[in-house]
Amino acid sequence: MIKTYRKTATIQAEQFDGSQKMIRKYAHLVPKNVPEPSSNSWVTKNGLFEFHIGDWFISKPDGIYGPINNADFERDNTELPVIPKMVANYIKTAHSYDLSLFDFFRISFQSKKDIDSEWVCEHFELVARAWLDGYQVEEEK
Protein backbone atom coordinates (compact mmCIF):
# COMPACT_ATOMS: atom_id res chain seq x y z
CA MET A 1 0.00 0.00 0.00
CA ILE A 2 1.37 3.44 -0.95
CA LYS A 3 1.42 6.00 1.85
CA THR A 4 1.97 9.74 1.63
CA TYR A 5 4.59 11.50 3.78
CA ARG A 6 5.53 15.09 4.47
CA LYS A 7 9.24 15.90 4.63
CA THR A 8 10.16 18.35 7.41
CA ALA A 9 13.96 18.62 7.35
CA THR A 10 15.32 22.08 8.10
CA ILE A 11 17.68 23.49 5.50
CA GLN A 12 19.58 26.70 4.99
CA ALA A 13 19.35 28.39 1.61
CA GLU A 14 20.92 31.33 -0.18
CA GLN A 15 19.43 32.84 -3.31
CA PHE A 16 21.88 33.20 -6.22
CA ASP A 17 22.42 36.81 -7.27
CA GLY A 18 24.82 36.17 -10.16
CA SER A 19 27.76 37.86 -8.46
CA GLN A 20 31.32 36.65 -8.77
CA LYS A 21 31.42 36.53 -4.96
CA MET A 22 28.71 33.85 -4.92
CA ILE A 23 30.28 31.97 -7.82
CA ARG A 24 33.55 31.81 -5.84
CA LYS A 25 31.68 30.86 -2.65
CA TYR A 26 30.13 27.80 -4.30
CA ALA A 27 33.02 26.92 -6.64
CA HIS A 28 33.65 23.77 -4.58
CA LEU A 29 30.59 22.26 -6.29
CA VAL A 30 32.31 22.45 -9.66
CA PRO A 31 34.81 19.73 -10.65
CA LYS A 32 38.34 21.09 -11.13
CA ASN A 33 38.51 20.30 -14.89
CA VAL A 34 35.34 22.28 -15.78
CA PRO A 35 35.52 25.89 -16.99
CA GLU A 36 34.17 28.78 -14.89
CA PRO A 37 30.35 28.67 -14.79
CA SER A 38 28.37 31.21 -16.74
CA SER A 39 25.46 33.14 -15.29
CA ASN A 40 22.89 30.73 -16.72
CA SER A 41 24.43 27.26 -16.45
CA TRP A 42 26.46 25.56 -13.79
CA VAL A 43 28.28 22.25 -14.03
CA THR A 44 28.06 20.44 -10.70
CA LYS A 45 29.55 17.14 -9.66
CA ASN A 46 26.19 15.62 -10.67
CA GLY A 47 26.31 17.05 -14.19
CA LEU A 48 25.06 20.15 -15.98
CA PHE A 49 22.53 22.21 -14.06
CA GLU A 50 20.76 25.14 -15.68
CA PHE A 51 21.10 27.86 -13.09
CA HIS A 52 19.70 31.37 -13.12
CA ILE A 53 19.75 34.45 -10.94
CA GLY A 54 17.04 33.87 -8.35
CA ASP A 55 17.70 30.13 -8.02
CA TRP A 56 19.00 28.74 -4.72
CA PHE A 57 21.94 26.97 -3.11
CA ILE A 58 20.71 24.79 -0.27
CA SER A 59 22.63 23.33 2.62
CA LYS A 60 21.23 20.03 3.83
CA PRO A 61 21.58 18.66 7.39
CA ASP A 62 24.31 16.28 6.18
CA GLY A 63 26.42 19.29 5.11
CA ILE A 64 25.97 18.76 1.37
CA TYR A 65 25.32 21.85 -0.72
CA GLY A 66 23.34 21.70 -3.90
CA PRO A 67 21.67 23.99 -6.41
CA ILE A 68 17.90 24.02 -6.91
CA ASN A 69 15.83 26.09 -9.29
CA ASN A 70 13.51 28.73 -7.85
CA ALA A 71 10.24 27.01 -8.84
CA ASP A 72 11.21 23.73 -7.13
CA PHE A 73 12.53 25.59 -4.09
CA GLU A 74 9.30 27.55 -3.60
CA ARG A 75 7.20 24.41 -4.10
CA ASP A 76 9.13 22.34 -1.54
CA ASN A 77 10.17 24.86 1.11
CA THR A 78 8.51 27.24 3.48
CA GLU A 79 10.48 29.72 5.54
CA LEU A 80 10.35 29.08 9.27
CA PRO A 81 8.00 31.47 11.08
CA VAL A 82 9.49 34.49 12.83
CA ILE A 83 8.23 34.95 16.39
CA PRO A 84 9.08 37.30 19.26
CA LYS A 85 11.81 36.20 21.65
CA MET A 86 9.34 36.02 24.56
CA VAL A 87 7.13 33.57 22.65
CA ALA A 88 10.16 31.53 21.54
CA ASN A 89 11.32 31.24 25.15
CA TYR A 90 7.83 30.19 26.22
CA ILE A 91 7.70 27.50 23.49
CA LYS A 92 11.13 26.22 24.55
CA THR A 93 10.03 26.05 28.20
CA ALA A 94 6.74 24.34 27.28
CA HIS A 95 8.62 21.72 25.24
CA SER A 96 10.96 21.07 28.17
CA TYR A 97 7.93 20.29 30.35
CA ASP A 98 6.41 18.08 27.62
CA LEU A 99 3.30 20.25 27.39
CA SER A 100 0.94 19.65 24.49
CA LEU A 101 0.17 22.41 22.00
CA PHE A 102 -3.34 22.54 23.49
CA ASP A 103 -1.89 23.13 26.98
CA PHE A 104 0.47 25.77 25.58
CA PHE A 105 -2.44 27.75 24.12
CA ARG A 106 -4.65 27.26 27.17
CA ILE A 107 -1.96 28.51 29.55
CA SER A 108 -0.85 31.37 27.31
CA PHE A 109 -4.44 32.63 26.87
CA GLN A 110 -4.95 32.59 30.64
CA SER A 111 -1.60 34.20 31.43
CA LYS A 112 -1.19 37.96 31.55
CA LYS A 113 2.33 38.18 32.98
CA ASP A 114 4.65 35.65 31.35
CA ILE A 115 3.68 35.99 27.70
CA ASP A 116 1.92 38.43 25.40
CA SER A 117 -1.32 36.43 25.19
CA GLU A 118 -2.85 38.98 22.81
CA TRP A 119 0.00 38.43 20.31
CA VAL A 120 -0.35 34.65 20.62
CA CYS A 121 -4.12 34.90 20.10
CA GLU A 122 -3.72 37.09 17.00
CA HIS A 123 -1.03 34.82 15.53
CA PHE A 124 -2.15 31.39 16.73
CA GLU A 125 -1.58 29.68 13.33
CA LEU A 126 1.95 31.09 13.15
CA VAL A 127 2.61 29.94 16.73
CA ALA A 128 1.29 26.45 15.91
CA ARG A 129 3.64 26.26 12.88
CA ALA A 130 6.53 27.40 15.09
CA TRP A 131 5.61 24.75 17.68
CA LEU A 132 5.53 21.98 15.06
CA ASP A 133 8.26 22.91 12.58
CA GLY A 134 10.62 25.27 14.41
CA TYR A 135 11.02 29.01 14.24
CA GLN A 136 13.30 31.99 13.89
CA VAL A 137 13.50 34.53 16.67
CA GLU A 138 12.54 38.06 15.69
CA GLU A 139 15.48 40.45 15.75
CA GLU A 140 15.25 43.02 18.49
CA LYS A 141 14.65 46.57 17.31
Q: What percent of the chain shows pLDDT beyond 70?
A: 73
The residue ranking higher by pLDDT, 71 or 98, is 98
One-letter identity of residue 126: L
The residue ranking higher by pLDDT, 61 or 44, is 61
pLDDT in tens, 10-57: 788 898 888 888 877 877 665 555 455 444 555 555 555 566 788 888
One-letter identity of residue 109: F
pTM for this entry: 0.63
